[in-house]
Chains A and B, each alone.
Chain A
Amino acid sequence: GQNIDQPTEMTATEGAIVQINCTYQTSGFNGLFWYQQHAGEAPTFLSYNVLDGLEEKGRFSSFLSRSKGYSYLLLKELQMKDSASYLCAPSGGYQKVTFGTGTKLQVIP
């Protein structure tokens, strides 16, 4: 089965940096996705890590440690529009993607 653990809520200040952690246990592992989801909308793709290490994409970076079952999403220079839920989603056996409950990030002025 799949078990995904990430904080339920986080608050950060506009312009700051925030790190959202995720630990997971999966039966089979291909890689790990991070998605952003605004309320009432479908998720949008942010990143996909297959190998260990940090991948940077603009203001967003994602890190993966396969041996530790750990990932984090790093958001820099926070903007108000970054207020959303961030979903950690490992891809496991049969290429199924399992979503965590998500971390609701609130960016305040």
Chain B
Amino acid sequence: GAVVSQHPSWVICKSGTSVKIECRSLDFQATTMFWYRQFPKQSLMLMATSNEGSKATYEQGVEKDKFLINHASLTLSTLTVTSAHPEDSSFYICSARDPSGSDEQFFGPGTRLTVL
């Protein structure tokens, strides 16, 4: 099956700093990737849809200037949390759509962000 990786697996940073999270499709090309956020005991919330070569589409309530998404190649999308604050501490998960064209999404292992 298709494999998606994320880096780093976890990160701790100081309030006010920026953190970059990478999402890679390892054995397939992904024109579309998705970024989710999950707070403890809550569901995965879609933050944005990342499209290769074009601007990301953000969900309502997600600040595009705070969560910068870059999908510069068919195998890499990055999410940068700018000026992070403790309330940004969460589990960030990316996924990529099945290259065969089905609706299935393949999830990365997630990145746990803790902002002190």
Contacts and interface: CB of A to CB of B under 8 A. Distances in A.
B93 to A, nearest CB: 5
Contact of B107 (A40, A44, A95): A44
Interface in B97-116: 97, 102-110, 112
Nearest to B6: A42
Contacts of B34: 97
A6 B102 CA distance: 25
B contact patch SS: strand
Contacts of B45: 99
A97 B109 contact: no
For chain A, give the interface size range.
20 to 34
A96 to B, nearest CB: 6
Given A43-B44, A87-B44, A102-B43, A97 B107 contact: no
Contacts of B105: 33, 45, 97
Interface of A: 30-31, 33, 40-45, 48, 87, 91, 94-102
Given A45-B105, A45-B106, 13 more contacts: A30-B103, A31-B103, A41-B110, A42-B109, A44-B107, A45-B104, A48-B103, A96-B46, A96-B49, A98-B46, A99-B43, A99-B44, A101-B43
6 contacts: A33-B103, A33-B105, A95-B97, A97-B34, A101-B43, A102-B43
